[in-house]
Amino acid sequence: MAEDDDPQAPAESLFEAPPMGEQERMVEAILFASADPVPVSDLAARMPHGSDPAEALAHLRKRYEGRGVQVVRVGDAWAIRTAPDLGFLMHKEVVEERKLSRAAIETLAIIAYHQPVTRAEIEEIRGVSVSRGTVDLLIEQGWIRFGRRKMTPGRPVTFVVTPEFLDQFGLESARDLPGLKELRAAGLLDNRPPPGGPGDEDDDGEDGDQSELFEE
Amino acid sequence: MAEDDDPQAPAESLFEAPPMGEQERMVEAILFASADPVPVSDLAARMPHGSDPAEALAHLRKRYEGRGVQVVRVGDAWAIRTAPDLGFLMHKEVVEERKLSRAAIETLAIIAYHQPVTRAEIEEIRGVSVSRGTVDLLIEQGWIRFGRRKMTPGRPVTFVVTPEFLDQFGLESARDLPGLKELRAAGLLDNRPPPGGPGDEDDDGEDGDQSELFEE
Amino acid sequence: MAGDEFQADVLSVSERMAAEALIVDVDGYEGPLDLLLTLSRTQKVDLRRVSVLQLAEQYLAFVEKARHLRIELAADYLVMAAWLAFLKSRLLLPPEPGDEGPSGEELAAHLAYQLERLQAMREVAATLMARDRLGRDFFARGIPEDVRRTRRVTYTATLMDLMQAYARIRTKDEFRPYVMDRDAVMTLEEALERMRGLIGFAGDWTDLTSYLPEGWQVDPGRRRSATAANFAASLELVKTGAVEIRQSDTFAPIQIRKRHDG
């Protein structure tokens, strides 16, 4: 450079500055390892005499253009940062699998068999109140959603199962869910006839209810 | 690529992986963002489906050859580290390290070269007992940890070195320990018991008996 | 002994200085093996060719000198001296017929091996410490960007779970799901269910037998089943960290208490 030949050049230039490629490496290493953004003056102080950190920075900045990280200016200082479009990589999702609680699976079963069904109806069938958390969990999981309001006093909301639910449980439609008779045949229920005999009103009524519900 | 047209291509290719250049940028961003080495499995988990972090790493490693920072392997993980020849620029970053005692240094070396190794074996090699403090210090530094128990009488615990140890000493794997091959060839890493040393036979016999008794 | 003292007195000044230098160093040695390694260096040969006999003599001379200067050597130095004296005699004398145990040569070879191994470990330790080090010669990222971790919980349930749940609800009033009638049997599940409720009240050590439900305490069959179920249930609770369990002796009462965190 012309400056080097200048008889007025400062005494420091007695020591030859490293080649620009080396200077660029130095800036790269310093920016990488520093805990804070580094001002140009700091770079100059740390690099060998006669170095030109500003020029090295310009080269380095260019080199990182379009890369996964970039050389960016932070106030008066410089730092290396993740390219903005790759921010999503700095996000790690940990998936944890848990078994559905008994309350949740029962609630889900009732909704599947009786949809559209109100909270009051679920509680009546289960015999216990349904916690808000249980319903929220099932909604969050994507297995149930709100159906249309019932045309009864108070116009309560109803719950129905979602396509995700069908997908999860390998069903074409909620109608494919086996009825009580089939459950019994599958050995899931005791084979003993209910106390009221075969014509038991309740049992029949249930099956009837169910099919009615599905036949909308 | 031809592979994409292959009807036999695996189902994963339904989701097209990003171009290799993009994958390289992603690996670059992830490695830059982390102070600790990142396992390849972590890279794969964070990159889009179908990505090939190993190939991207190979490209990236090449790209950084001779630069101010380098892509280095640490066990099963990868990290970016400043080039060792630029250490002189980093005086500011040097963390004053606790000076290790001679006992600690030798114990560390013995664990590295003989791992998995029991406390008794370390003592046999050094000819003096290993103090609790020495082992505690090395564990605290994160350089050694407990390995699996040895299948010898008494089932003693063993010590092995950690990935942090590899990182600290710039080793790709424990196989790259300096002089390892020569030591092995010279038989100096064999577990050579003393030839019926004074009292040793008796001790061994007892230990054996004991463990047999306890294992019933 | 008087003779020894006299001898020590007539040692020349330079000899005494040399002897003392050696003695002063004793503290610097990390045990007899370390000292032996240092002594072996005076032979100025490859450790593989070191003369163990000569080494044994050097060591014994060292110990003798220490005795002259009334330096108390640690027990392990004296043990090594005794062993080396034994080794020396083995190396010098022809083996007695019917002699058991390893030969002098075998013992000497092992000692040479130990010295060589210790020396090798010291050399690699030095090489290791001289390597470029993280945080000294090369550096990690100064401003690591934290990875945000989010936890997503997914729940699993099968169609079978769903149907069983429904069957359970729809049949609980009319009839029970299929179970065998076993009056005198308490299941682990029953005991667990019961104990989970009760354990909250057990602040201090309580005999496990006091957890037996009403009606299960007298009839031997029922009592046996309930005890076994309660015991299994308490182990289950211990496993989950809910309770602690203890038994002071074989056949002594088994006691449990609620576990207090921290």
Beta strand ranges found along C72-230 (DSSP E): 148-156, 206-207
Could you give the 3-state DSSP secondary structure of residue A160?
strand
In this predicted structure, the answer to whether residue C24 has a pLDDT above a threshold of 60 is no
- The reply to whether the predicted model has a pTM over 0.80 is no
Residue A46, C-beta contacts closer than 8 angstroms, at least 6 positions apart: A26, A30, B89, B92
Q: How many interchain CB pairs under 8 A, A with B?
A: 70
* Among A91, A171, A188, beta carbon nearest to C167: A188
Nearest to C155 by CA among A83, A98, B63: A98
Q: Is C129 on the interface with B (CB under 8 A)?
A: yes
Q: Is B110 on the interface with C (CB under 8 A)?
A: yes
Give yes or no: residues C124 and C195 share one domain.
no
C72 and C8 in contact (C-beta within 8 Å)? Answer: no
Cα–Cα distance, B12 to C89 (Å, whole number): 76
In a domain, C10, yes or no: no
Q: What percent of chain A has pLDDT over 90?
A: 30
The residue of chain A with its CA nearest to that of C167 is: A189
**Which subunits sit against C, judged by 3+ Cβ pairs under 8 A?**
A, B
Q: What is the per-residue pLDDT for A170?
A: 74
Dihedral sign for Cα C105, C111, C114, C116, please. Answer: negative
Q: Tell the burial category of B62 from Cβ atoms under 10 Å away from its Cβ (0-12, 13-18, 19+).
A: exposed
Cα–Cα distance, C245 to C208 (Å, whole number): 9
CA angle, C88 then C91 then C94, to 5°: 125
Task: Tell me the nearest-neighbour CA distance from A202 into chain B, angstroms.
Answer: 50
**CB–CB of A32 and B69 under 8 A?**
yes
Domains located in chain B, CATH noted: 20-91 (1.10.10.10), 102-212 (1.10.10.10)
* Chain B residues closer than 8 Å to A30 by CB: 89-90
- What distances in angstroms separate CA B86 from CA A14, A28, C152, one per listed residue? 22, 10, 43
Q: Which residues of A39-60 are buried (b: 16+ CB within 10 A; e: fewer)?
A: ebebbeebbbebbbbeebbebb
In this predicted structure, the answer to whether residue A93 has a pLDDT above a threshold of 60 is yes
Cα–Cα distance, B109 to B122 (Å, whole number): 10
Q: Is B89 on the interface with A (CB under 8 A)?
A: yes
End-to-end CA distance of chain A: 88
Q: What is the per-residue pLDDT for A212?
A: 36
Long-range contacts: A79-87, Cβ < 8 Å, 24+?
A: A79/A31, A79/A34, A79/A36, A79/A37, A79/A38, A79/C143, A80/A31, A80/A32, A80/B32, A80/C143, A81/C145, A82/B29, A82/B32, A82/B33, A82/C145, A83/B25, A83/B29, A86/B25, A86/B26, A86/B29
Tokens of A195: 């106390």
Q: Is B94 on the interface with C (CB under 8 A)?
A: yes
Angle, to 10 degrees, between the axis of helix C188-198 and the axis of helix C220-239? Answer: 70
Q: What is the per-residue pLDDT for C16?
A: 57
The whole domain housing C230 covers 188-258
Residue C150 phi/psi, 5° resolution? Answer: -120, 145
**CB–CB of B82 and A24 under 8 A?**
no
**Which residue is listed with tokens 């003599």?**
C57
Cα–Cα distance, B67 to B51 (Å, whole number): 26
The region that residue B75 occupies, defined by phi over 0 for left and psi between -120 and 50 for alpha, beta otherwise, is left
Could you give the count of Cα atoms lying within 13 Å of B179 in the half-sphere of its Cβ? 20
In a domain, C149, yes or no: no
The residue of chain A with its CA nearest to that of B42 is: A92
Q: Is A92 on the interface with B (CB under 8 A)?
A: yes
Task: Tell me the nearest-neighbour CA distance from C230 into chain A, angstroms.
Answer: 23
* Chain B residues closer than 8 Å to C123 by CB: 179
Q: Is A72 on the interface with C (CB under 8 A)?
A: no
Report the 3 state secondary structure along A61-88.
HHHCCCCCEEEEEECCEEEEEECHHHHH
Highest mean pLDDT among A139-153, C7-21, C165-179: A139-153
Which of B70, B110, B161, B175 is the mutation pick for testing C, counting most C CBs within 10 A? B110
Could you give the 3-state DSSP secondary structure of residue A135?
helix
Give yes or no: residues C28 and C118 share one domain.
yes
The CATH number of the domain where C203 resides is what? 1.10.10.580
Cα–Cα distance, C135 to C138 (Å, whole number): 6
In a domain, C31, yes or no: yes
* Chain B residues closer than 8 Å to C32 by CB: 127
**CB–CB of B29 and A80 under 8 A?**
no
Cα–Cα distance, B201 to B208 (Å, whole number): 11
CA angle, A37 then A38 then A39, to 5°: 125
Tens digit of each residue's pLDDT (9 = 90 or more) over A9-33: 444 455 688 999 999 999 999 999 9
Q: What is the per-residue pLDDT for B9?
A: 43
* Among C122, C128, C141, beta carbon nearest to B169: C128
Give yes or no: residues C119 and C45 share one domain.
yes
**CB–CB of A183 and C166 under 8 A?**
yes
Q: Is A183 on the interface with C (CB under 8 A)?
A: yes
Cα–Cα distance, C141 to A97 (Å, whole number): 34
In a domain, C2, yes or no: no
Give yes or no: residues C115 and C199 share one domain.
no
ipTM of the complex: 0.61
Per-residue model confidence as pLDDT tens for chain B (216 residues): 444 444 444 444 556 789 999 999 999 999 999 988 999 999 998 899 889 999 999 999 999 999 999 999 999 999 999 999 998 888 766 666 778 888 999 999 999 999 999 999 999 999 998 888 899 999 988 999 999 898 888 889 999 999 999 999 999 999 999 999 999 999 999 888 777 654 444 333 333 332 333 333
Rounded mean pLDDT, A90-100: 76
Q: Total domain count for chain C?
A: 2
Question: With DSSP H G I counted as helix, E B as strand and the rest as coil, what are the percentages for chain A, rounded to 5?
Answer: 50, 15, 35
Give yes or no: residues C27 and C115 share one domain.
yes
**Which subunits sit against B, judged by 3+ Cβ pairs under 8 A?**
A, C
Q: Is A131 on the interface with B (CB under 8 A)?
A: no
What amino acid occupies position C51? S
Which of C26, C34, C117, C123 is the mutation pick for testing B, counting most B CBs within 10 A? C117
* Among A29, A83, A89, beta carbon nearest to B68: A29
Rounded mean pLDDT, A45-73: 93
Nearest to B24 by CA among B66, B53, B62: B53
**CB–CB of A68 and B92 under 8 A?**
no
Could you give the count of Cα atoms lying within 13 Å of A88 in the half-sphere of its Cβ? 6
* Chain B residues closer than 8 Å to A46 by CB: 89, 92
Task: Tell me the nearest-neighbour CA distance from C180 into chain A, angstroms.
Answer: 10
